[in-house]
Amino acid sequence: MARAVRVILLAAVVALALVGCGPSQPATGTEQPAAVSIQQKGSDTLVNLALAWAEEYMRLHPEVRISVTGGGSGTGIAALINGTVDIANASREMKPEEIEEAKKNGYTPKEYTVAWDAIAVVVHPSNPVDGLTLQQVSDIYTGKITNWRQVGGENRPIVLLSRESNSGTYVYFLEHVVRLGDPKSDALFSPDTLLMPSSEGISAEVRQNPNAIGYDGLGYVTPDQKTLAIARDANGPYILPSAETVNDGSYPIARPLYMYTAGEPAPHVRAYLDWILGDGQRLVAGLGFVPLRQSPTGGSATP
């Protein structure tokens, strides 16, 4: 009996040893990498391009899961500061106070320029006005010009449409168009301006309201809107937004688009950003934006 018990105990010890030392799966040499995830949030201007990048990258790298949501540049930057996303998408630079808030949380945000964009000024297709100067656009949005007749159109009141204040497009338009790039200016949007929650909201209102004027990233302009040519001053020339006019610097309302990380990103996030700045640039033009390799500054696809 004792001998039988010893044999059973020995067999159990050997079995446990084999389980503890052996691989959990056969060593075939074809094991899949561990799954990793990337969380992105922010700019509505960037969201369609970011989704296209994410879908293509996940196709190439099935082990990576990428989540992309909008909500505005300010929303994405706040999420980055709070540590709830890996990447903040932004159509404006981070503000000094946002950078300071991030530093209080122990890191300095790292900025990547990922594409270029033109902001188009749009009206209803029936509007006879074809072009405006930057000064006229500023005067319209500050309420100095209130009737289309004042800029060569019909005797109709102007209905002002804008993105909400958490939008990077709103901030850029305020600083570079409403305030004409003057850092000392305190000009504001007219209180009659209707704040729209999304690019799609502006598009829908412009399509149905013959008195409306709005602005949006060029990639969101649809054929059933009329895009106005913009001149730096009354002497012209009046230039329509396009990849070509952003490239040559002739269109006056163009800006870089950004992604931010909380300091140096994790390796899998860095690999994704490297791909966006490299091979991923081939997707940019198809969505109405301007690739980095064709940026107005002649820069390469590097941050």
Per-residue pLDDT tens over the stretch 156-189:
999 999 999 989 999 999 999 999 999 999 999 9
Q: How far is CA 263 from the centre of its chain?
A: 19
Report yes or no on 131 lying in a domain.
yes
pLDDT tens column, 224-279: 999 999 999 999 899 999 989 998 999 999 999 999 999 999 999 999 999 999 99
Query: Are 66 and 175 members of one domain?
Result: no
Report yes or no on 28 lying in a domain.
no
Report yes or no on 5 lying in a domain.
no
Q: What is the mean pLDDT of residues 278-298?
A: 80
Query: Are 56 and 131 members of one domain?
Result: no
**170: which residues sit within 8 A by CB, 6+ positions away?**
162, 163, 164
Q: How many domains does the chain have?
A: 2
**Phi-psi map region of 249: left, alpha, beta (phi>0 left; psi -120 to 50 alpha):** left
Amino acid identity at 111? E
In angstroms, the CA 8 to CA 168 distance is: 72
Query: Are 243 and 205 members of one domain?
Result: yes
Report yes or no on 299 lying in a domain.
no
Three-state SS sequence of the chain = CHHHHHHHHHHHHHHHHHHHHCCCCCCCCCCCCCCEEEEEEECHHHHHHHHHHHHHHHHHCCCEEEEEEEECHHHHHHHHHHCCCCEEEECCCCCHHHHHHHHHCCCCCEEEEEEEEEEEEEECCCCCCCEEEHHHHHHHHCCCCCEHHHHCCCCCECEEEEECCCCHHHHHHHHHHHCCCCCCCCCCCCCCCEEECCHHHHHHHHHHCCCEEEEEEHHHCCCCCEECEEECCCCCCCECCCHHHHHCCCCCCEEEEEEEECCCCCHHHHHHHHHHHCHHHHHCHHHCCECHHHCCCCCCCCC
With cut-offs at 50, 70 and 90, classify the pLDDT of residue 219: confident
Report yes or no on 124 lying in a domain.
yes
| Residue that is written with structure tokens 């305020």 in the block | 174
Spatial contact of 111 and 94, defined as CB atoms under 8 Å apart? yes
pLDDT tens column, 105-129: 999 999 999 999 999 999 999 999 9
Q: What's the CA angle centered on 228, arms 71 and 200, to 5 degrees? A: 25
Amino acid identity at 276? I
Mean pLDDT of the chain: 88
Query: Are 137 and 75 members of one domain?
Result: no
With cut-offs at 50, 70 and 90, classify the pLDDT of residue 13: very low
At residue 7, does pLDDT exceed 60?
Answer: no
At residue 30, does pLDDT exceed 80?
Answer: no
At residue 15, does pLDDT exceed 70?
Answer: no
Query: Are 156 and 212 members of one domain?
Result: yes
Amino acid identity at 119? I
Query: Are 161 and 70 members of one domain?
Result: no
Report yes or no on 204 lying in a domain.
yes
The domain spanning residue 122 has which CATH number?
3.40.190.10
Of 212, 253, 196, 254, give the one whose Cα is nearest residue 122. 212
Query: CB neighbours (10 Å) of residue 80?
Result: 29
With cut-offs at 50, 70 and 90, classify the pLDDT of residue 199: confident
Query: Are 200 and 167 members of one domain?
Result: yes
Query: Are 225 and 263 members of one domain?
Result: no
Query: Are 136 and 240 members of one domain?
Result: yes
Residue 44 belongs to domain spanning: 37-116+256-294
Q: Sign of the CA dihedral 172, 173, 177, 179?
A: negative
